[in-house]
């Protein structure tokens, strides 16, 4: 991404799980760290999320999943991004995701998964470092 432009991050919570305390805290923390956050709210379908990310020309998509549906939802997002030729958008995520699933999710091209108990500063540092490359 070009230097000087604010990082644009789409934050979304796909699926029907309504536990949105974490995703709202992360959205606010990124905003306070100077990023432009588009909070797509809850319950977007994978296709809606990908369309919104492309329309909003974001640098990254952050997804929160606490229901255990990550192994279904993340692959869908990645394949829709590929179909739309938007694989350059960084995808990261967080939530109640067991360690044993991390390797598989990362092999799909997901940049990072932040599990329960993560400090928001770790997410900010990760985005600052990764998106500056």
Partner 1 sequence: MSRLFDKNAIEDIDREKDQWQKEIYQPAEGEEKVFETLSGIPVEPLYTPAHTAGMDYLNDLGFPGQEPYVRGVYPTMYRGRTWTLRQLAGFGPAEETNKRYKFLLKEGATGINGVFDYPTLRGFDSTDPFARADAGRGGVAIDTIEDMRILFEGIPIDKISTSLVTCQPICNISVQSMYFASAEMRNVPLDKLTGTSQNDFLMETVITVAPELLPPRFSFKLSCDAIEYCTKHVPRWNPISFAGYNYRESGCSAAQEVAFVIANATACSEELILRGLEVDSFAPRLSFFLSAHNDFFEEIAKYRAARRIWFHIMKERFGAKDPRSLRLRFHVQTAGVALTAQQPLNNISRAAYHALSAVLGGAQSVHIDGYDEALCTPTELSSLTALRTNQILQLETRATNTIDPLGGSYFVETLTNKVEEETLRLLDEIDGMGGIVKAAATGWIHKEISNSAYEYQQAIESGKMPIVGVNCYQMEEEELPVDLFQVPETLQIQEQKLKRIKNERNGSHVREALDAVARCCEQDGNLMEVIVESVKSRVTQGEISQTLKGSYGTWEPPLF
What does 97-123 look like in DSSP terms, one character per residue? --GGGHHHHHHTT--EEEETT--HHHH
C-alpha angle 89-92-95 in degrees, rounded to nearest 5: 155
Q: By CB under 8 A, which span of 49-57, 69-77, 80-88, 125-133 interacts with partner 1?
A: 69-77
Q: Nearest approach, Cβ of 69 to partner 1 (angstroms)? A: 4
Residue 68 and residue 70: Cα distance in Å, rounded? 6
Q: Which of 1, 36, 43, 131 binds partner 1 (CB under 8 A)?
A: 43
Q: Is 119 in the site for partner 1 (CB under 8 A)?
A: yes
Q: By CB under 8 A, which span of 17-25, 52-60, 85-93, 105-113 interacts with partner 1?
A: 17-25
Residues 6+ away with beta carbon under 8 Å from 72: none
Q: Is 29 in the site for partner 1 (CB under 8 A)?
A: yes
Q: Is 55 in the site for partner 1 (CB under 8 A)?
A: no
Residues 6+ away with beta carbon under 8 Å from 73: 14, 15, 46, 63, 65
Chain positions contacting partner 1, by CB under 8 A: 14-21, 24-25, 28-29, 39, 41-43, 45, 67-69, 72-73, 96, 98-100, 115-117, 119-121
């Amino acid at each position: 991404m070009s230097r000087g432009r604010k990082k644009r991050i789409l934050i979304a919570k796909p699926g029907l799980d309504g536990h949105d305390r974490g995703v709202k805290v992360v959205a606010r923390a990124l905003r306070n760290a100077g990023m432009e956050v588009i909070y797509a709210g809850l319950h977007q379908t994978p296709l809606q999320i990908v369309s919104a990310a492309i329309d909003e020309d974001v640098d990254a998509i952050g997804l929160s999943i606490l229901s255990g549906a990550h192994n279904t939802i993340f692959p869908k997002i990645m394949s829709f991004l590929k179909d739309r030729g938007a694989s350059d958008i960084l995808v990261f995520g967080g939530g109640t995701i067991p360690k044993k699933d991390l390797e598989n999710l990362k092999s799909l091209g997901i940049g990072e998964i932040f599990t329960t108990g993560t400090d928001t500063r770790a997410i900010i540092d990760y985005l600052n470092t990764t998106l500056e490359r």
